[in-house]
Structure 1
């Protein structure tokens, strides 16, 4: 009779080098992009000194790029929001580093405190807003890199009408009129 208990491995499987995958220099899977965002979030020395706050518009800074992805750092003062948008053909990971952000979708709203992460697929429409009384900072990983951010003109739950917005060139930083959330 064959069963799961009939299978046994003799010896140390880690001693068989050809069975181990070499570590990748750059992430390639959703789990690896989530891990990249988490490791950057945990290492404040990589981003904390870069954060700026702008009372007139969201501030952003491209923190890192790699083959097929980019990482953005954004700050949000109370009341700032992204507007309802999607990320074109890009998937992404949103990680709240400091403060609290509110994400609104057609399914409702979700409050995201520091440490919260959201993973989204291409075409996922949402609005991110700082509804709190304190500033917030977030990290955004886009794969492939963000090339457009279609803005939606309808209210959540209504008929969608989108207009594409081109994104800022590599190495850019400044007010975030075109960098998503």
Structure 2
């Protein structure tokens, strides 16, 4: 018996494998979706060769799907924006892979910059991205002079993106505008 502890392991420690959780093939928690976004962001070979820039509209490409989730790659040339919107019933993770995007909400404006993935918040000057719940209303724009690329993970997969009329912070939230007529 070890005099430093009353705990003893009897038998072969390798036989306790049944007590360990098997690794999941797909993410299922917010932390795991953030981890997926960070893993993809860190491996440029997964996405860099796919990126295209379109001066007339934001370019997008579905990069990956899994049970109930989707991963999208978007490019933004200077001046392009999403318009004020939410993501219906979907939660999401947004991270910037290249360049800088600006996120506007009724609470204010934030710069979301590439290159800060995995850097602790106190050590970076700009945020690496955003995790959001269903109903989160925001606008994302590229208001710099350089193109930008972003990665979006949605759970469940994105089925709607209701657009919202512009509003000031003091006003109440308006009803969503039908995206087909906006």
TM-score scaled to structure 1, two decimals? 0.82
Tell me, yes or no, if structure 1 residue 148 matches structure 2 residue 160.
Answer: yes
- Matched residues, number: 160
Indicate the residue corresponding to 1:175 in structure 2.
none
SS at 2:146 equivalent:
coil
Tell me, yes or no, if structure 1 residue 32 matches structure 2 residue 32.
Answer: yes
Residues 123 and 10 of structure 1, relative CA distance in 2, 3 Å threshold: farther
Whole-angstrom CA distance in 2 between matches of 1:156 and 1:94: 24
CA RMSD of aligned residues (A): 2.0
Unaligned runs of 5+ in 1: 1-6, 167-177
Using the TM superposition, give the Cα deviation of residue 59 of structure 1 relative to its aligned residue in structure 2, in angstroms.
Answer: 0.4
Indicate the residue corresponding to 1:66 in structure 2.
66
Unaligned runs of 5+ in 2: 118-127
Tell me, yes or no, if structure 1 residue 136 matches structure 2 residue 133.
Answer: no
| The structure with more radius of gyration | 2
Q: CA offsets per residue over residues 99-130 of structure 1, 9 Å max, x none?
A: 00000001000001103121000000000000
Whole-angstrom CA distance in 1 between matches of 2:57 and 2:175: 24
Whole-angstrom CA distance in 2 between matches of 1:119 and 1:93: 4
Tell me, yes or no, if structure 1 residue 161 matches structure 2 residue 172.
Answer: no
Question: Contact between 1:154 and 1:161, CA under 8 Å: does it hold in 2?
Answer: no
Indicate the residue corresponding to 1:86 in structure 2.
86
Residues 58 and 8 of structure 1, relative CA distance in 2, 3 Å threshold: farther
Whole-angstrom CA distance in 2 between matches of 1:147 and 1:44: 27
Using the TM superposition, give the Cα deviation of residue 10 of structure 1 relative to its aligned residue in structure 2, in angstroms.
Answer: 4.3
Moved segments of 4+, more than 6 Å:
none
Indicate the residue corresponding to 1:51 in structure 2.
51
Indicate the residue corresponding to 2:102 in structure 1.
102
Whole-angstrom CA distance in 2 between matches of 1:81 and 1:136: 11
TM-score scaled to structure 2, two decimals? 0.82
Higher strand share: 1
